[in-house]
Chain A
């Protein structure tokens, strides 16, 4: 489709762009009056409008946009919705968070929205150049936001660590992309795939090198072992709303990138349907390599979380473990695996954002993000304690929460693929994870509090928390619609 026609599919991104401009102008003219946060309001309105226009565009058939640069298919549409929803929630969190209230708001929101655009583009890119540019757009923004609390030392440290790790790993990935270009002579996914399909034997080593190099970049984004070391420090140092954003949206981007890049270049859809196979004569057991990374990631993530006392660090390790669970779905190279990943991501979005919202409430009300802050929380604010418990049980994967169904879906896919060893590793990890999530529950309910003083939760936070936790319970019991939605979204554009 040509450039001009494509614009009609690009409305959500255009709305975000307009919102960025408005936010910048609002900030420039100091339009923050009567206590109302105008830049925040504009960002919120912009992201909500973008979300609405996105839903409105949903039923459009799959097609290529901008001369084949990006694709509009169910997969990219899903991720666009995912990122926009995430942005709406994080914008709301930011507007009322004490951590970022004194900082320059206009910059903050405009960077947040540009990250969102970058993420949407990553999920839909069909060209190596495009995917790299989109990735950089989101990464650069993330570096800045991670270090946004400039006066706090560890925020600076987080940002620096993030930049160093990020720079190296995306550089390595870029090298992989250049190899791919060198091998095939094209930056366009469909052309790359065509060349690889008709290629001769003997490119296994090159293909594997490309895969490894790309994996460095992707593994960094999703915080997979052994590229996970940045996550705990960055999560701890960043302002909490940004941590929430990184833990959900950034991880989602990593998975979108991995699936988009990997499934549309080095793999091809099997004519039998339902699964993907290696292109051409490449004979590499991708499933096994990804499965090993998945097993390592969840195990190391879970073991690392056991000894954490800072909630943000603990959730960082838990996020690493969840990247491992999600990789179980990706490594299968089947439709069901993709559906499971999409289902799990939706569940993860609600659960993890709600968990981080509780951390934000803790930080705002008592400036404490350690285990001490939640001690005896039940006596001080029962609703928040119960909401946090539901989230934690969902992260463990216990019924009747959505996390259980997500795990169920993943394991169905996994056992259908006959990866029994990975399934055993996965469920044993679930048991390990119970231990550290239960430590938080224990602190909230079993341990005495140092003060009985009730915590006053901002009504917006209370509403947001409810809005995030209700789906966690709802999808734990009535998940047929979400399962059908995941089935609908798990389709990449094919050539």
Chain B
């Protein structure tokens, strides 16, 4: 038995502990509840930093905890982290305190909100830490429940519709993952994600190509809905627009990554041959995501909707990279997951800031804001330019890597997809121009600038965006050994 580490267990379940403290607190003590919520996300952040600093990129799976859970079905409580999960875990523990700060204005039923938020954090971290398929699935579903309530209770005018749509879509995908999980279990009698790939190769499932094709498809549908890949993307604009700011941040920053994370963690290692067979369809879907998402984003007048569609476009790059399976493309895809998490989180936070002040998000309703809210305009500038892929900021590196790596494999698709960058520049710059430049809209002459709390939520992300833009190897080094192992597995 290998050495057991409890680091990931603490990271995952400390927020849950906070949830119980909040549940035991009377609902009137709103400020106290918010403080507890913030305090209970911080230890996970600190432990997350410890986790990264002690992580050995070449050392394979680390921080392993493995305990028997359900003996009858060979299910383990199995947690561990490698290069694929480390950036995602870090992103989660980083965004959660930020989101708590961004939710400071929530006073309606604050107790429920923050309790559910902490449950959500545990669910998300569990997904990224779990190495047992069953455990993964439990966390994967567990996350849905708080999300449903957070959108449905604290969301915008059409929240009920958005919440149930999100729930139905995701559950529809999950049930196929559920079936695939059970079929794989029946053939291998195992849920161990680190060994399942090898075990499948040793059973009759290996030769049952037709069944494998269906299994891969079933899992892909589950993950594609989360990404969200065309044509399963329609839940996303609704959910993002109706969700409260912090929840939009979580949705775009972390939840979407679970789809691509699932493909890296489960689909690819389990069925490498099917991954090759599906590469072209995934690349085509990626192209549609990139261009279609960008075009639709350009047509939006609601700032939040624009950011939501830009997410669809940006997640397309991740899929394009993972379909190409070259080292540059795969690393680019992984880096894009991390970068998009930071950039889009900033964008949604910025939308939240302006919405709190102006109570609308109509792009054309603003104008010349740079004059009286310089700090806000400055940070927006960083976020917008990072989103359109300006060199020197993090988005550029990952998108360039993806294009670089996928051009030899899918030349035409890649060339066509680069138009997404151009369209991205168009809608981002156009939006910036309409909101911040030109004559000042007199209605907003006395608009207050970002306060300290808002700045605290935005500066760390801006810092990471710039830092990764200049020193991308800081993040790339974390996962490139893991990625090269995965590539070896895929194209051996």
Contact = CB atoms under 8 A, between A and B. Distances in A.
Contact of B164 (A378, A424, A427, A442): A442
A388 to B, nearest CB: 14
Contact of B72 (A430, A434, A442, A487): A487
B179 A404 contact: no
B175 interface: yes
Contacts of B163: 442, 446
B185 A412 contact: yes
A189 interface: no
Nearest to A339: B72
Interface string B109-146: 00010000000000000000000000001100110110
A428 B175 CA distance: 8
A412 B164 contact: no
Given A480-B70, A483-B72, A412 B182 contact: yes
A398 interface: yes
A399 B137 contact: yes
Contacts of B145: 393, 398
Contacts of B273: none
Interface string A456-495: 0000000000000000000000011001100100000000
B167 A438 contact: yes
A408 interface: yes
Given A430-B175, A431-B172, 15 more contacts: A404-B138, A411-B179, A415-B186, A423-B179, A424-B179, A427-B175, A428-B175, A430-B171, A435-B168, A442-B152, A442-B160, A446-B152, A446-B159, A483-B70, A484-B72
Interface string A126-158: 000000000000000000000000000000000
A431 B137 contact: no
B471 to A, nearest CB: 40
A415 B187 CA distance: 10
A378 B179 CA distance: 34
Contacts of B168: 431, 434-435
B278 interface: no
Nearest to B154: A446
A280 interface: no
A399 B123 CA distance: 11
B153 interface: yes
Interface in A393-436: 393, 398-400, 404, 408, 411-412, 415-416, 423-424, 427-428, 430-431, 434-435
A480 B142 contact: no
Contacts, number: 72
Given A411-B178, A415-B183, A446 B160 contact: yes
B268 interface: no
B125 to A, nearest CB: 15
A445 interface: yes
Interface in B66-119: 69-73, 112
Contact of B153 (A408, A438, A446): A446
A487 B72 CA distance: 10
Contact of A427 (B70, B141, B148, B178): B178
A435 B148 CA distance: 12
B149 interface: yes
Interface in B146-200: 148-149, 152-153, 159-160, 163-164, 167-168, 171-172, 175-176, 178-179, 182-183, 185-186
B72 A398 contact: no
25 contacts: A378-B112, A393-B145, A398-B141, A399-B137, A399-B138, A400-B142, A404-B138, A408-B178, A411-B178, A412-B73, A415-B183, A416-B186, A423-B179, A427-B175, A435-B168, A438-B164, A438-B167, A441-B148, A442-B164, A446-B152, A446-B159, A446-B160, A480-B71, A483-B70, A484-B72
Interface of A: 378, 393, 398-400, 404, 408, 411-412, 415-416, 423-424, 427-428, 430-431, 434-435, 438, 441-442, 445-446, 479-480, 483-484, 487
A167 B486 CA distance: 65
A479 B75 CA distance: 11
Question: Among the interface residues A408, A423, A445, which one has the most CB atoms of the partner chain B within 10 A?
Answer: A408
Interface residues of B, number: 32
Nearest to A480: B70
Interface of B: 69-73, 112, 137-138, 141-142, 144-145, 148-149, 152-153, 159-160, 163-164, 167-168, 171-172, 175-176, 178-179, 182-183, 185-186
A3 B142 CA distance: 54
A431 B171 contact: yes
A427 B167 contact: no
B23 to A, nearest CB: 10
Nearest to B137: A399
A431 B173 CA distance: 9
Contacts of B138: 399-400, 404
A434 B171 contact: yes
Contacts of B182: 408, 411-412, 415
A146 to B, nearest CB: 34
Question: Among the interface residues A398, A412, A483, which one has the most CB atoms of the partner chain B within 10 A?
Answer: A398
Contacts of A487: 72
A483 B72 CA distance: 7
A213 B357 CA distance: 71
Contacts of A378: 112
A424 B180 CA distance: 11
Contacts of B160: 442, 446
B149 A399 contact: no
A487 B70 CA distance: 14
A398 B144 contact: yes
A431 B164 CA distance: 11
Contacts of B159: 446
A252 to B, nearest CB: 23
Contacts of A415: 179, 182-183, 186
Contacts of A445: 149, 152-153
A435 B164 contact: yes
A400 B142 CA distance: 7
A447 to B, nearest CB: 8
A6 B129 CA distance: 56
A39 to B, nearest CB: 40
Contact of A399 (B71, B112, B141, B185): B141
B138 to A, nearest CB: 4
A480 B71 CA distance: 6
Contacts of B144: 398
B179 A427 contact: yes
B469 to A, nearest CB: 40
Contacts of B69: 480
B235 to A, nearest CB: 13
A427 B168 CA distance: 12
A438 B149 CA distance: 11
A399 B175 contact: no
B296 to A, nearest CB: 27
A412 B71 CA distance: 15
A82 B167 CA distance: 34
Contacts of A400: 138, 142
A197 to B, nearest CB: 31
A109 to B, nearest CB: 39
Contacts of A434: 167-168, 171
Nearest to A428: B175
A407 to B, nearest CB: 8
A484 B141 CA distance: 25
Nearest to A434: B171
A427 B137 CA distance: 15
Question: Among the interface residues A378, A424, A442, A446, which one has the most CB atoms of the partner chain B within 10 A?
Answer: A446
A479 B163 CA distance: 30
